[in-house]
Structure 1
Amino acid sequence: MAVKFVMRITFLLLLAVAYELAEGAPPMAKPNCRDSCGKVSIPYPFGIRSDCFMHQSFEIVCSESGVAAAAIAFLPSIGNMEVLEINISEPYGTNDISYDPGLIRVKMPIISLNYTNQSSAGSVAPVNIFGTPFFFSSKWNKFVSVGCNNLATMTGLDPMGVVGCKPDCSKEKLIVKCSGSDYCQTTIPDGIQLLNVTFWNTTNTSSCRRAFLAEREWLNKTDPSAANHVLNLDYVPVVLEWTVLNFSEAYGFEELYVRRHIDWSYTRYDVKYYFCRYGYEGNPYLDMGCQDKNECEDKNSKYPICLPGLECENTEGSYNCNKRKSPLKIAILVISPSFGLLFLLLVIWWSYKVIKKRNKIKLKQKFFKRNGGLLLQQQLSSNENNVQKAKLFNSIELENATDGFNENRILGKGGQGTVYKGMLIDGRIVAIKKCNIVDEGNLEQFINEITILSQINHRNVVKLLGCCLETEVPLLVYEFIPKGTLFQYLHEENEDFPLLTWDMRLRIATEIAGALSYLHSAASLPIYHRDIKSSNILLDDKYRAKVADFGTSRSVAIDQTHVTTLIYGTFGYLDPEYFQTSQFTDKSDVYSFGVVLIELLTGEKPVSSTRSVESQNLSTYFLHSLKENRLFDILDTQVRKVCNKDEVMAIANLAKRCLHLNGKKRPTMIEIMMELEGVQKGFPVQPNFDELEYVRNKEMGPRNDISISTSSCLELGSASSSNALPL
């Protein structure tokens, strides 16, 4: 092993002798093109003249006022935004954007709304950069809402997604007119090219509302709630990412491969950035733009490394490369090492292996502690928590189960993580969810999810088998549900998804209601799912329903509601009362279940652009048809075949009650379950409330005092992805 290592070094050194030392600073702009506008450097593929940029999207307009240093650069392809910085640097080591390739800082307008009508929402013109190679960076930007109780949302992310936040202020702060008073910020999804802001009136008594995207580092240095600052600003810095699909491959470049998931088009975009590798400098987008640099003359290097054939000497504190040696001498020095050198190389190689193994163990211990492993061990070993023991898997076992997390094993991807199909060593087929990110501030929520889901033991709820916490991001292991989602059977025409008969649909609805009834009434603490939809209902090999994806669920104390300033859910299923009041109750899950019932009846999607404008929302379309006695005109073909029309009408009326705008007038999940069971048996059932306690005692396990929040993968403080794929 050591001999091969020496021979490889010899070959590389002899090959490097053939190259001469590059002289002069490497070019950043195309030849005969300006490389700056004022204080902004203009590297290729950007340029000022038509023959100086790669594509029209990279054209820079330089506005000059007679003073060269005061010139301002603008980017016409994204609405003449002012350019503050363009970066194509190598991605080594810091949090400064000047070391992150493919970024551009621009000035973006602050979006504000002034009005006196306190009963309606307000929206403003969107910022649209579709058709350009630019998109808003989710890593470097945050979405900010300024103003007490100013609920601002980003819409247009995809057909059903929503991201937003609302500052929660005390009454004392509300008396200051247009002061800002407070603010909130949240993350944004990857790859968006549309900034469309809607203002919703809640309890804000101020007539001034502001919302904007802003650079994260700028926010860290600025207080957006300061009235004398933000209210006097028209623009804030925003970071855009950009990419070039094709270019001439220059010598000495490397590529950085980044996978982005752009929800708007439901298409995976693979983004590539290019940069000069270590030891080279220049512009990788130019032919021969990356040039070998002389490290001996690098003022940033304390101990410069000269090219082969040169020696670096320290003359009065200054390093210089000189005394060129012949290639033959270099070859002799490298090829003819002593046995002592060989032994030293072997010792170094063995030490490297030992240190690498030790560091790997320490890294696993670090991840285990950071991901809340010690807290989970304490929860599982506590006698106070009478829970089933969720297994702690090791990383090697799950890597082997998924063939090293091979892309061919991916079952689905969503806002909270990627799900892989795997086979454990005992032969069991499982679904392994790899979370996207870790938020150390929500460790207790994540650990309590595992303890709560370990207690859920219901035939119609996906079972959590265990987790792995010694990896960089947590891994959750669930039972594998083979037949896909209810959404696929209702809305995707494919021979793999057979048509669901009326009896199957009625049974599936009853099973979903039973699972939600258990979560609301029979679990250790009431659990609100908060994202009930057909894509979160899985079907097993016998087409039995399984409720999945508890990524945004909450467990709360009995007779309490969950109040939040962040918006979770999916358009088409979202309870209008929750959206207006920010109070989520068990009746909010009932509304979402009502939408699923309509899907089972009509086979229609909850939101569809193919229907008329006033009927794009399925709930509105259904209630309008029911009011005009046109129910049987909108039913699915499989439902129309039913001989007993009374059953269909009973389910339709039940769905209508679930969609009542007043949550207090909606039925509970226990009432819904009993009515569905009655329809299944062939006769209507009016719930007997004396039996509800029996139902509770029949299905519930032992209760524990666990007042916590569950989170499938540690939450980021942003909206749940509307495209989150289940297990």
Structure 2
Amino acid sequence: MNFSFNKLSGEIPIDSPFANVTSQSFLSNDALCGDSRFNIKPCQTKSTKKSRRKRVLIGLYTLLGIVSLLVLAVGYVVLRLRKTKKNASQADVSLVKEHERISYYELEQATEGFNESNLLGNGSFSTVYKGILIDGTVLAAKVFNVQLEGAFKSFDTECEILRNLRHRNLTKVITSCANLDFKALVLEYMPNGTLDKWLYSHNLFMNLLQRVDIMIDVASAMDYLHNGYSTPVVHCDLKPKYGQDGIVSTSCDIYSFGILMMETFTRRRPSDEIFTEELSIQRWVSDSFPGEIHKVVDSNLVQPGDEQIDAKMRCLLSIMELALYCTLVTPDARISMKDALSTLKKIRLQLVNNRD
């Protein structure tokens, strides 16, 4: 019998009629297995297959174990690096916090073409608009004026500084929008409106304590900028054009803060028509201090017949005295923001105690 070149497979029987068959009968049947006398590979028994399968499973489990340990190790390292980076930057305020960098088109749509009806305020180098993104996010867009020299530099400086500043009274940055001829910061929208709105709107009113609280909050943020950061940061934009004299310093901010206090408690804008080159709001308050201070403060704060009118006038006198210390002609003679904050807190405490 000759079964050569038939591509046979399986085990060759050793019983008759194959008892006397030789290897020459099974040439070129590579899939056959059986006894060694046929010069072919031995057949695998069930125990052999089981042993091989066991070895394969052991190998797979070992490999999976190694991969799992590697993933855990990498994850641990990544978490440690993130934690270290977070601690080092003190919860870094990234310009891309909740949104990707926004496009000019999206910002234009959100602000209705930067419409004046959405105008929130103006600064030395920028204009701020209210906007609403497609996803419903309400924002404030601080658009830098490209016509003003130094505006783009101011944008870059703010981006760099705001990465590291964290204070509850400083507006948070959500993201930014920038191209060759347009730069804007997208800020957290403050729904309660601006100080200007609350001071000069006919249907809104802030009492004396509320105004003191606002000044404390502003002073707290300014104190953080001046003294709570590794390098003193100058705001430069509390009141445009006040106290700068071409030199940027913390004393400029203190002067501007003094002007802001005067405006808040007199309800008179520094740009009011009654003020001229000869008579500024600072000079107006100074000339009335202390004997005629009642003539310059907001009359809505001290109504006739108010049982606390004397206590309120003492409070207002202290506030105007502080404002004058902030606006002294010589920068080095001005009170520090830290001391101004401390003084305001004492004034508030006296005001609350008198109410009780």
The one-letter code sitting in structure 1 at the alignment partner of 2:264 is L
Shift of 1:461: 1.6
The one-letter code sitting in structure 2 at the alignment partner of 1:410 is N
Judged with a 3 Å threshold, the aligned counterparts in structure 2 of structure 1 residues 611 and 410 are, in CA distance, closer, same or farther, namely closer
**Conserved 8 A contact 1:434-1:475:** yes
Aligned to 1:661: 329
Shift of 1:479: 0.9
Shift of 1:445: 5.5
* 1:596 maps to 2:260: yes
The one-letter code sitting in structure 2 at the alignment partner of 1:658 is C
Aligned to 2:178: 469
* 1:523 maps to 2:185: no
Shift of 1:430: 0.5
CA distance in 1 between partners of 2:324 and 2:160 (Å): 36
Between 1 and 2, higher relative CO (CA 8 Å, sep ≥ 6) is seen in 1
CA distance in 1 between partners of 2:295 and 2:185 (Å): 44
**Conserved 8 A contact 1:390-1:466:** yes
- In structure 1, which of residues 651, 654, 657 is the aligned counterpart of residue 319 of structure 2? 651
Partner SS state of residue 182, structure 2:
coil
Query: Across the two proteins, how many residue pairs are aligned to each other?
Result: 256
CA distance in 2 between partners of 1:440 and 1:674 (Å): 37
CA distance in 2 between partners of 1:505 and 1:585 (Å): 26
Partner SS state of residue 270, structure 2:
coil
Q: Which has the larger radius of gyration?
A: 2
Runs ≥4 residues deviating over 4 A: 381-386, 412-415, 438-445, 611-614
* 1:635 maps to 2:344: no
Partner SS state of residue 624, structure 1:
helix
Which ranges of structure 2 fall in alignment gaps of 5 or more residues? 1-84
CA distance in 1 between partners of 2:266 and 2:126 (Å): 31
Aligned to 1:435: 144
Shift of 1:383: 11
- In structure 1, which of residues 618, 621, 636 is the aligned counterpart of residue 284 of structure 2? 621
Aligned to 1:509: 215
Shift of 1:442: 8.0
Judged with a 3 Å threshold, the aligned counterparts in structure 2 of structure 1 residues 510 and 471 are, in CA distance, closer, same or farther, namely same
Judged with a 3 Å threshold, the aligned counterparts in structure 2 of structure 1 residues 611 and 440 are, in CA distance, closer, same or farther, namely closer
Aligned to 1:264: none
Counterparts of 1:307-706 in structure 2 under 5 Å?
387-391=92-96, 392-395=100-103, 397-399=106-108, 401-402=110-111, 405=113, 407=115, 410-412=118-120, 414=122, 416-437=125-146, 446-470=155-179, 472-490=181-199, 492-495=200-203, 498-533=204-239, 569-570=240-241, 574-575=242-243, 578-579=244-245, 582-610=246-274, 614=278, 616-626=279-289, 629-641=291-303, 642-643=308-309, 644=311, 645-682=313-350
CA deviations 1:312-356 (Å, max 9, x no partner) are xxxxxxxxxxxxxxxxxxxxxxxxxxxxxxxxxxxxxxxxxxxxx
More helix per residue: 2
Shift of 1:509: 1.1
CA distance in 1 between partners of 2:214 and 2:150 (Å): 38
Aligned to 1:201: none
Shift of 1:504: 1.0
Q: TM-score, normalised by structure 1?
A: 0.32
**Conserved 8 A contact 1:456-1:463:** no
CA distance in 2 between partners of 1:487 and 1:677 (Å): 23
Partner SS state of residue 139, structure 2:
strand
**Conserved 8 A contact 1:402-1:409:** no
Shift of 1:524: 3.9
Aligned to 2:57: none
CA deviations 1:555-613 (Å, max 9, x no partner) are xxxxxxxxxxxxxx42xxx22xx52xx43321221111111111222222224333688
**Conserved 8 A contact 1:460-1:515:** yes
CA deviations 1:618-664 (Å, max 9, x no partner) are 1111111115x111122211232453132222212212211222222
Aligned to 2:15: none
Shift of 1:670: 0.8
Judged with a 3 Å threshold, the aligned counterparts in structure 2 of structure 1 residues 612 and 465 are, in CA distance, closer, same or farther, namely closer
Shift of 1:682: 1.9
The one-letter code sitting in structure 1 at the alignment partner of 2:315 is E
**Conserved 8 A contact 1:623-1:656:** yes
Identity among equivalent positions (%) equals 27
CA distance in 2 between partners of 1:441 and 1:620 (Å): 31
CA deviations 1:52-99 (Å, max 9, x no partner) are xxxxxxxxxxxxxxxxxxxxxxxxxxxxxxxxxxxxxxxxxxxxxxxx
CA distance in 1 between partners of 2:298 and 2:151 (Å): 44
Judged with a 3 Å threshold, the aligned counterparts in structure 2 of structure 1 residues 438 and 668 are, in CA distance, closer, same or farther, namely same
Counterparts of 1:72-87 in structure 2 under 5 Å?
none
CA distance in 2 between partners of 1:676 and 1:652 (Å): 11
Which ranges of structure 1 fall in alignment gaps of 5 or more residues? 1-380, 534-568, 685-727
Q: TM-score, normalised by structure 2?
A: 0.62
Partner SS state of residue 674, structure 1:
helix
The one-letter code sitting in structure 2 at the alignment partner of 1:620 is R
